[in-house]
Amino acid sequence: MKRTVLTIFLVGFLITVTTPWMMAADSNETSLGLPTANMSVGNLVPLGIVKKVALKKAKELWGQVTPGEPIACCDQDGNIAYYMCPFHIGPGPFPSDEQIMKGVKEGRKLVKDVHEGFFSQLDLGTESGKKAQTGDATLHSSGSNVPKTIIPKPPTDYNAADYQKALKAAKGKELGIGEYGTIYVAATYDRFPIPLVSHYLPPYYLTGDLAQQKAEEVLVGTPKLNRIYFLGERGTFFEFISGNKAVTIHAYSLEVEPIKRIERRAATPEHQENIKEQWKKHAEE
């Protein structure tokens, strides 16, 4: 039985995370802090091995990389299950949270402008961009922090090639495509070592601040990030707490959503042997 590493593609992400929350104006910079997890579990993989496995895979995919700090993810019971291991593609050091969030927020603003029908003249491959370069257009400012010279194009044709190209470029900026990647590594030896690879930033950076804003609407006080649940096909969730209250928010839809519990099935002997072989392959020099 072979295990295929799941890779998330840009097209699916565009559909998933283009929500009103993404289109809203950003508030002041917030600091999430790193999530917690119950570490008192069996078959625990040493963090050094986790980093080694992630780095090896990242180099295979992206060449020269700089690792960031692994982000703990829980199973449905709050036990450590995986780590999101972010990487900056290229030489170090790994950018600060402030630098990363600056790029993410700039990307969000670009996405908003594209949805409103504005195309930056920096999109040199589009007809709008060509007109801007030659002066064959009426120049207009959207009043945002995006490049000052832009082309108004309302009403927007959402199927037009120019729009799709501009949206892809804006989303690429928001997601950190080409700059970052994330390797998900299991935290226990009874799970496949690398269940997921994404060619952009983890949700901790992409939507964590937006989820915190959502939590502030639901909870009294100042909500703090407590846990991140990575539940495979069921999705990824942020848990925020304030006092004795807690709320879970889906990392991509940004909807308040309780975690639906399911029974984890015991691995078959064949499955266990496959997991063992996978760990051996990924952990070897």
CA gap 184, 73 in Å, rounded: 9
Tally of structural domains, the chain = 2
Residues 10 and 65 in one domain: yes
Residues 235 and 204 in one domain: yes
> Which residues constitute the domain of residue 103?
99-175
In a domain, 126, yes or no: yes
Tens of pLDDT, residue by residue over 207-244, are 999 999 999 999 988 999 999 999 988 899 999 999 99
Pairing assessment for the beta strands 236-242 and 245-250 based on DSSP bridges: antiparallel
More confidently predicted of 118 and 67? 67
Q: For 37-46, 85-94, 114-123, which range has the lowest pLDDT when averaged over its residues?
A: 114-123
CA gap 36, 34 in Å, rounded: 7
Per-residue burial over 210-231, b if 16 or more Cβ lie within 10 Å, else e, is bbbbbbbeebeeebbbbbbbbb
In a domain, 1, yes or no: no
Residues 277 and 193 in one domain: yes
Residues 67 and 190 in one domain: yes
Residues 77 and 190 in one domain: yes
Residues 86 and 224 in one domain: yes
Residues 93 and 190 in one domain: yes
Pairing assessment for the beta strands 224-230 and 196-198 based on DSSP bridges: unpaired
Q: Which of 175, 207, 234 is the last residue of a domain?
A: 175
CA gap 165, 136 in Å, rounded: 20
- The C-alpha angle with vertex 136 and arms to 133 and 141, in degrees rounded to 5, equals 75
In a domain, 154, yes or no: yes
Residues 185 and 210 in one domain: yes
In a domain, 152, yes or no: yes
Is there a contact between 185 and 193 (Cβ–Cβ < 8 Å)? yes
CA gap 253, 16 in Å, rounded: 7
In a domain, 78, yes or no: yes
Tens of pLDDT, residue by residue over 186-196, are 999 999 999 99
Residues 78 and 212 in one domain: yes
pTM of the full structure: 0.78
Q: Which of 175, 199, 225 is the last residue of a domain?
A: 175
Residues 162 and 237 in one domain: no
Tens of pLDDT, residue by residue over 241-285, are 999 999 999 999 999 999 988 887 888 899 999 999 999 998 776
The confidence score (pLDDT) of residue 163 equals: 80
pLDDT grade for 158, boundaries at 50, 70 and 90: low
Pairing assessment for the beta strands 6-8 and 196-198 based on DSSP bridges: parallel
Residues 6+ apart with CB under 8 A from 204: 32, 35, 71, 84, 86, 228
Tens of pLDDT, residue by residue over 105-153, are 999 999 998 887 765 544 434 443 443 333 333 323 344 444 444 444 4
Residue 235: strand pairing partners: none
Q: Which of 175, 198, 223 is the last residue of a domain?
A: 175
Residues 218 and 168 in one domain: no
Residues 202 and 271 in one domain: yes
pLDDT grade for 161, boundaries at 50, 70 and 90: confident
More confidently predicted of 121 and 203? 203
Chain position carrying tokens 């990363």:
100
In a domain, 272, yes or no: yes
Q: Is the dihedral of CA 146, 149, 152, 158 positive or negative?
A: negative
Residue 75 region by backbone torsions, left for phi larger than 0, else alpha for psi between -120 and 50, else beta:
beta
